Structure formats: structure tokens, C-alpha cells
């Protein structure tokens, strides 16, 4: 797939920093952002919200037959992650072996290259998720 630069660029902050929207009428949070709250419709009061890149694996698979541009990454893990703040996102799980991933595993966001538009086109970046580090693992 060769997605043109504008289509990616207009969602940069959602891809880089998990910007979604929160409906002030019903308190629901959506990611990716929507223009209307499907529950409140005309009564929607949406405002941008930066979601915390932490959550857990709701389900996962290991892609062994990859689409164009992902051939060098096989086998790679794709998952649906349920963010702590509610919304679910489809994401690649990195820094994790196929036999290590499991449902319920705590994960955290990491900035990675998502794909390239051919060898001379734009490079697209964004969030992926990796196994969460415990706070105690941060120190020396």
C-alpha cells in the first residue's frame, strides 16, 4: 500500500502521541478521534485528549504471511490492546517473541517506524506497544 503523505500527516498527533477524543456529554473516549460521538450524535461535545500509552493485550496473532513492506519483519505480533483509558487499538507488539505474548499482558507504547512508502517515498512513524517495564526496572 502506498498511502500518500497528506493522509498520514493529518493524523500525525494521533499516530505519534495517541491523541483521541473525549465526549463531554457522555464521558466516552474514542481512539482514533471521531468527528461525532456515536452515542450522543448531535449532542456530542468532543475534545482532544492525549491517551496514556499503557494497556493490556486483549487478543493477538502472529503474522507469518505479510503484506507488502512487512516481509522482513515476519513473524511479527499484531494485537488489539485495550488502553487503560478504555479505547482499543490495533497495534504491533515489539520487543517480544511470538511465544512470549499472551492475553492480559501489560504493554506500553514505544515510538517506531510503521512503514515506508517504497524505497524512495515517505517514512511513516507512530506508536507500537512493547511489554511494560516495571518502575523498579528503570533504575541502574
Partner 1 sequence: MRPLTVGICGYGVYIPRLRIRAEEIARIWGGDGEKIKKGLLIEEKAVADFDEDTATIATEAARNALKMAGIEPAAVGAIYVGSESHPYAVKPTATIVAEAIEAAPVMTAADYEFACKAGTAAIQTCMGLVGSGMIEYGLAIGADTAQGAPGDALEYTAASGGAAYLIGKKGLIAEIEDTYSVTTDTPDFWRREGEPYPRHGGRFTGSPAYFKHVLSATLGLMKKIGAAPEDFDHAVFHQPNGKFPRNAAKNLGFTDRQLKEGILVDRIGNTYSGSSLLGLARVLDVAKPGERILVTAFGSGAGSDSFSIRVTEEIEKRRGRAPAVETYISDRRYIDYGTYVKLRRKIKVAE
Partner 2 sequence: MKMNKVAVIGVGLTKFGELWDQSFSDLFVEAGANAIVDAGIDGKDIDAIYLGNMSGGRFIEQEHMASLISDQAGLNPAPATRIEAACASGGLAVRQGVIAVASGMHDVVVVGGVEKMTDITSERVTQTLITAADQEWEAFLGMTFPGVYALIARRHMHEFGTTREQLAAVSVKNHANAKDNPHAQFRFDVTVEQVLGSTMVADPLTLLDCSPITDGAACIVLASPEKAKEFTDSPVYITGAGQATSTIALHDRERITVSDATINAAKAAYKMAGKGPEDIDVAEVHDCFTIAELLAIEGLGFCEIGEGGPFTEEGSTARGGKISVNTSGGLKAKGHPVGATGVAQVVEVVLQLRGEAGKRQVDADVGLTHNVGGSGGTAAVHILEK
Interatomic CA distance for residues 96 and 113, integer angstroms? 16
Task: Give the per-residue contact string, 31-70, with partner 2 (x = CB under 8 A; - = no).
Answer: -x-------------------------xxxxxxxxxxxxx
**Interface with partner 1, residue 47, by CB under 8 A:** no
Which set of grid coordinates corresponds to residue 36? 461525532
The answer to whether 128 touches 110, Cβ cutoff 8 Å, is yes
Residue carrying the nine cell digits 461535545:
45
Query: Least distance in Å: CB of 115 to partner 1?
Result: 9
User: Is 113 in a helix, a strand, or coil?
Assistant: strand
- Out of 12, 27, 52, 61, the only residue in the binding site for partner 1 (CB under 8 A) is 12
- Out of 36, 40, 63, 94, the only residue in the binding site for Zn ion (CB under 5 A) is 40
Amino acid at each position: 500500500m502506498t498511502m500518500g503523505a497528506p493522509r498520514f500527516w493529518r493524523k500525525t498527533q494521533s499516530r505519534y502521541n495517541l491523541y483521541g477524543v473525549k465526549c463531554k456529554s457522555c464521558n466516552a473516549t474514542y481512539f482514533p478521534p471521531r468527528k461525532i460521538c456515536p452515542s450522543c450524535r448531535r449532542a456530542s461535545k468532543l475534545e482532544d485528549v492525549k491517551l496514556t500509552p499503557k494497556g493490556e493485550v486483549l487478543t493477538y496473532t502472529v503474522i507469518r504471511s505479510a503484506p507488502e513492506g512487512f516481509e522482513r519483519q515476519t513473524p511479527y505480533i499484531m494485537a488489539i490492546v485495550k488502553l487503560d483509558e478504555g479505547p482499543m487499538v490495533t497495534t504491533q507488539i515489539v520487543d517480544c517473541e511470538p511465544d512470549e505474548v499472551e492475553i492480559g499482558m501489560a504493554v506500553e507504547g514505544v515510538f517506531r517506524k510503521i512503514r515506508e512508502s517504497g524505497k524512495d517515498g515517505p517514512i511513516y512513524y507512530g506508536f507500537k506497544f512493547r511489554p511494560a517495564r516495571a518502575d523498579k526496572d528503570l533504575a541502574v
